[in-house]
Amino acid sequence: MRTKQVFLLFTICFSAFLVSCAIKSENSGDPNTQAYYENAIINCFISGCDKELIITGGNSLPEGGSLVLSISLVHKPDTSVTYNFSSSNPAIASVSPSSLIFTPSNYNIPQTLTITGTSDDSDSTDNSIVISILTPNSETIPYSILQKDNDKFLFATNATYAGNFGSGGFADFVCQNEANNLFGSGLPSGTYKTFSVAGTWRRAMPSKIDWVLLPNKDYIDFAGGTFVKAFATDANALFSFGTGSGISATAAGYWTGLQTDWTTANTCQGWTSNNSIDQGNFASSGDPNVGGISAGTPDFCNLAKSVVCVQQ
């Protein structure tokens, strides 16, 4: 029975630590490490969870966005007190203001702390940041934040593919093989699929089938390692035109099979034909507008163009 009580006390303390992260810590060492937090939780378990601040607003910071925290004191101070704030990685997240002053008259009135995330277009991973809060007693309160990455990547192959690049159902295999060859050059890893549509195999509109884009993402063109934003997507997982620089390819453009309204048009017989009679719709290189999905007129399937490959 006593073991259960001890475990329950630990669980309550652990939960309080995670919810507010406003518990004093006299730990030394790197606040980015797991050991730092484990020591803080153990101290809480042994000494009691003396919560000093009330922090609301959450722990999720969107890339390139902001997180607004509301902070107030639990106990009324005798005089004015200053709390200082700093980020464990200012290159990823900055803090403003760097300090807040509480007085006996406003200690329980929430003040605002804004965490601003920077855009990082060279990877697609989330980042952990710790906001260190230095108390008037020179103790440290760690507040953990997760910066949610919002990037997906794409690239255009060399213009070596006629309209039969998808023969035998290998359109996505083409993209994955091309991506595998670029991982060593800095392309973020993952599964890559072709941006081309055809029949009931892949469709963007009117209803999506195995669609390759995700809603509300920034799509970064690898572009040989320069990492340039091509487009952002809207809530319908379609490109919002004019939100980037378009997709960099050769002057020949890249196969898409798309009309300007995102419906499927000419697809070189489902990307199986390199016949000069058949036609396929294509898009224009570096066009940030509707030309980035369809040039408006098809081209003959015996011509070589690029294929755009999109990270999933």
Q: Using one digit for the tens of pLDDT, what is the confidence trace for 165-192?
A: 997 678 999 999 999 999 989 899 999 9
Residues 162, 135 within the same domain: no
| Mean pLDDT value across residues 240-247 | 96
Q: Is the predicted pLDDT of residue 37 greater than 60, yes or no?
A: no
Question: Do 222 and 91 share a domain, yes or no?
Answer: no
Inform me whether the pLDDT recorded for 110 exceeds 90: yes
DSSP 263: B
CATH number reported for the structural domain that contains residue 90 in this entry: 2.60.40.10
CATH number of the CATH domain containing 172: 3.10.100.10
Q: What letter would DSSP give residue 118?
A: P
Do 115 and 243 lie in one domain? The reply is: no
Residues 97-111: what's their mean pLDDT? Answer: 97
pLDDT reading at 251 higher than 70: yes
Sheet arrangement for strand 60-62:
60-62, 140-148, 127-134, 81-87, 99-102
- Quick one: 173 and 228 in the same domain? yes
What pLDDT does residue 12 have?
A: 37
pLDDT surpassing 90 at residue 10: no
Domain boundary among 124, 148, 172: 148
Q: What is the DSSP letter of 267?
A: B
For residues 165 and 287, membership in a common domain is answered with yes
Q: What is the pLDDT of residue 8?
A: 35
pLDDT tens sequence across 268-277: 999 999 999 9
How far CA 309 is from CA of 167, 183, 192, 274, 304, in Å, comes to 17, 13, 6, 20, 16
pTM: 0.66
pLDDT at 244 (0 to 100): 94
Domain termination residue (choose one: 88, 115, 148): 148
Q: Is the pLDDT of residue 113 over 90?
A: yes
Q: What integer pLDDT is reported at residue 124 of this predicted model?
A: 64
What band does 3 get if pLDDT is binned at 50, 70 and 90?
very low
Residues 144 and 155 in one domain: no
| Per-residue pLDDT at 121 | 63
**DSSP 3-state percent helix, strand, coil across the chain (nearest 5):** 20, 35, 45
Assess whether 24 and 98 both reside in one domain.
yes
Share of the chain above pLDDT 90, in %: 67
**β-strands 140-148, 111-117 pairing:** unpaired
Mean pLDDT, residues 272-300: 97
The two beta strands, 279-280 and 299-300, are antiparallel
Determine the pLDDT at residue 126: 77
Whether residues 101 and 195 share a domain: the answer is no
- What pLDDT does 34 receive? 52
The per-residue pLDDT for 14 is: 39
3-class state of residue 70 by DSSP: strand
Q: Which residue has the higher pLDDT, 16 or 120?
A: 120
pLDDT for position 39: 53
Tell me: pLDDT of 13 over 60: no
Range of the domain at 173: 151-311
Of 113-122, 195-204, 288-297, the poorest mean pLDDT is in 113-122
Do residues 142 and 10 share a domain?
Answer: yes
Q: Is the peptide bond before 90 cis (omega within 30 degrees of 0)?
A: no
Could you tell me if 143 and 192 lie in one domain? no
Q: What pLDDT does residue 168 have?
A: 65
Boundary of a domain, candidates 116, 133, 148: 148
Q: How many domains does the chain have?
A: 2
Q: What is the mean pLDDT of the chain?
A: 85
96 & 185 share domain = no
Whether 204 has a pLDDT exceeding 70, the answer reads yes
Asked whether residue 178 falls in the same domain as residue 254, the answer is: yes
Encode pLDDT of 205-225 as tens digits. Answer: 999 999 999 999 999 999 888
Confidence of residue 57 (pLDDT cuts 50, 70, 90): very high
Between 200 and 104, name the one with better pLDDT: 104
